[in-house]
Structure 1
Amino acid sequence: MWLIVAFVGGTGFVAVAPISIAVGVIVAAVLVVAIGLVLTLGAPRIVLTNEDLRVGRAYIERRYVGEAVAIRGADARAARGPDLDGRAFMNFRVSVPELCRISIVDPVDPTPYWLTATRHPDELARAVNEGRVRD
């Protein structure tokens, strides 16, 4: 993803450099910083509290959160593709290949699980499982 950001900055430089090299450098820097900020600040946040779990704008009460499992490598590719349940809540990022699958135990919610991309799937799964409400 950051290579694309660098490419856009380089493209901005090349587009403006014939007019002025200094302005081309400024345009490239502004583009790289602006796109970098959008990517960083625009990433959905995962927030887990004693009351709820939030992934981006999605939210569920903690009592309806079941077991969480970290998924990596070929299993993550399969989870995003052939093994994916269309009813699941999905939060994928191209630049983050690891996933965490969080089961939903609400009897009236048709969503079987949440599947979210995270750079730390083991830590998220551990945190969800440690605070789970068990019957």
Structure 2
Amino acid sequence: MTGVAEPRYRERLTTPWWWYLGALGVGILLGAEIGIVLPGGWVLVPFFVVTLLGAAVVYRLGSGTVQVVGQELTAGDRQLDLSRVDRLVPLSVTELRRVVGRHADPAAYTFIRSWVGPGLQLIMRDPSDTTPYWVVSTRHPDRLIAVLTAV
């Protein structure tokens, strides 16, 4: 036993599969442009390199996770002690855009991904807290709320 608690909730906010097709298209276009100036045997190298780089970027964009371990919510690289949370507000796509748009508090922590529609707003207990609320993208706000209220 390693002493590390199992996550009660874990969600990886992966990118849509068709973004890899976009990376392939960009790789072909940029590879062709770079390949024009290279001598004969090296023409295919830019295709492979740029396509692999594009796929790596798409994979990295989809590597963000939201998880609950013990008494903490982890969103990206930040942790939040759940005892600081007063209210949980599920957000539809429209509400999420409003909360992180021009009506947003600049001091709020946002962990959103544009390709994940709904989200969750976690409002802090202490109004003088430097971070008044968190906004987190999640495909399953109801499941996350159920886990957070159980904790």
The reply to whether TM is greater than 0.5 is yes
**Number of matched residues?**
129
Q: Which residue of 2 aligns with 1:11?
A: 26
1:70 aligns with 2:87: no
Deviations 1:48-77 (A, max 9, x none): 123222212222222212221210032222
Identity %, equivalent residues: 25
Give structure 1 regions of 4+ aligned residues with deviation exceeding 3 angstroms: 1-5, 14-29
The CA distance in 1 between the partners of 2:121 and 2:30, in whole Å, is 44
- Superposed counterparts of 1:1-135, under 5 Å: 2=16, 3=18, 5-17=20-32, 23=45, 26-27=48-49, 29-41=51-63, 43=64, 45-106=65-126, 109-131=129-151
Unaligned 5+ runs, structure 2 = 1-14, 37-41
Unaligned 5+ runs, structure 1 = none
2:136 partner amino acid:
T
Deviations 1:76-127 (A, max 9, x none): 2221224422332111212122110012114652322111111222211221
The CA distance in 2 between the partners of 1:103 and 1:68, in whole Å, is 6
The TM-score normalised by the length of structure 2 is 0.66
The CA distance in 2 between the partners of 1:16 and 1:74, in whole Å, is 39
The CA distance in 1 between the partners of 2:149 and 2:125, in whole Å, is 13
The CA distance in 2 between the partners of 1:53 and 1:33, in whole Å, is 29
**8 Å contact from structure 1 (residues 99, 116) kept in 2:** yes
The verdict on how the C-alpha distance between 1:87 and 1:16 changes in structure 2, with shifts beyond 3 A counting, is closer
**8 Å contact from structure 1 (residues 6, 32) kept in 2:** no
